[in-house]
Each structure stands twice: as structure tokens, then as C-alpha cells.
């Protein structure tokens, strides 16, 4: 059973930074097992949307609105993926979810991810 546990959310002022972490257990990071890890977010009343993804060999993918502000990375030895968020805006307020895909290929689609964490709240005040 795969478990993904997010941490690092909280309240921050606009322009500030946060670093989210997602610790995975149950399977180890490898080329195919959790070969692609992603972050999604869901604001109240909105659909869950793609934020960023990183493959086992460190190829990265970002939603256009996050490019230049967010950085995704992974530590395969620690089975952990990170999301560094800078220059935060009030519109970044959402629950952020970690997701794992049993494939080495990156994907922007939430339908392609096999496992999900419970989410961590990020609130950006203006």
C-alpha cells in the first residue's frame, strides 16, 4: 500500500515562500515505481489543477502560471519530492496534493496518477 504524506503548508504573506514536502512509503522510487511524482492543487469551488511534475531522471514539467516561481525536485534516496514555492500570490491559495504515477513518463493529467496524498493547505494573505 502506497502512502504519500505532504507537509510544509501554512499561512504566508503575498511575496513569501514555502517549501512543501511529500514523503512516500510502501514502494521505493525507481524508474517505473513512482517514476513520475507530481503536485496538484485545488482551490475552493475549482477543479484540481496540475502544478508541477518530476520524473525519475529529473525531467520537470510546470503549469505555465507556476514557471519561474515554483521548483519541483525529488530525492530518490529519501523517497521524497519537494515543491519550492516563491513569490506567492493570494491566488496560489489552495490545498496542495502530492501524486505518484507508476510510469517513468511525465504527465500533466491527474487521471494518469495512481496514488494521492491527503493534501496540505497553503494560504497566501494579501
Q: How far, CA to CA in Å, does 66 sit from each of 5, 38, 55?
A: 22, 13, 18
- In the chain, % helix, strand, coil (3-state, to 5) comes to 10, 50, 40
**Residue bearing cell 484540481:** 48
Query: In this model, does residue 85 exceed pLDDT 70?
Result: yes
pLDDT tens profile 26-84 = 887 776 677 899 999 999 999 999 999 999 889 999 999 999 999 999 998 899 999 99
- The two counts, helices (H) then strands (E), for the chain are 0, 11
Mean of pLDDT over the chain: 94
Joined grid coordinates for residue 42:
485545488
β partners of residue 124: 12
Amino acid at each position: 500500500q502506497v502512502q504519500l504524506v505532504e507537509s510544509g503548508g501554512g499561512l504566508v504573506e503575498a511575496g513569501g515562500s514555502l517549501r512543501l514536502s511529500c514523503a512516500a512509503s510502501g514502494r521505493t522510487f525507481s524508474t517505473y515505481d513512482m517514476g513520475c511524482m507530481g503536485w496538484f492543487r485545488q482551490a475552493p469551488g475549482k477543479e484540481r489543477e496540475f502544478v508541477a511534475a518530476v520524473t525519475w531522471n529529473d525531467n520537470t514539467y510546470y503549469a505555465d502560471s507556476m514557471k519561474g516561481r515554483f521548483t519541483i525536485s525529488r530525492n530518490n534516496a529519501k523517497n521524497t519530492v519537494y515543491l519550492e514555492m516563491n513569490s506567492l500570490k493570494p491566488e496560489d491559495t489552495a490545498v496542495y496534493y502530492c501524486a505518484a504515477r507508476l510510469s517513468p513518463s511525465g504527465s500533466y493529467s491527474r487521471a494518469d496518477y495512481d496514488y494521492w496524498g491527503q493534501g496540505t493547505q497553503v494560504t497566501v494573505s494579501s
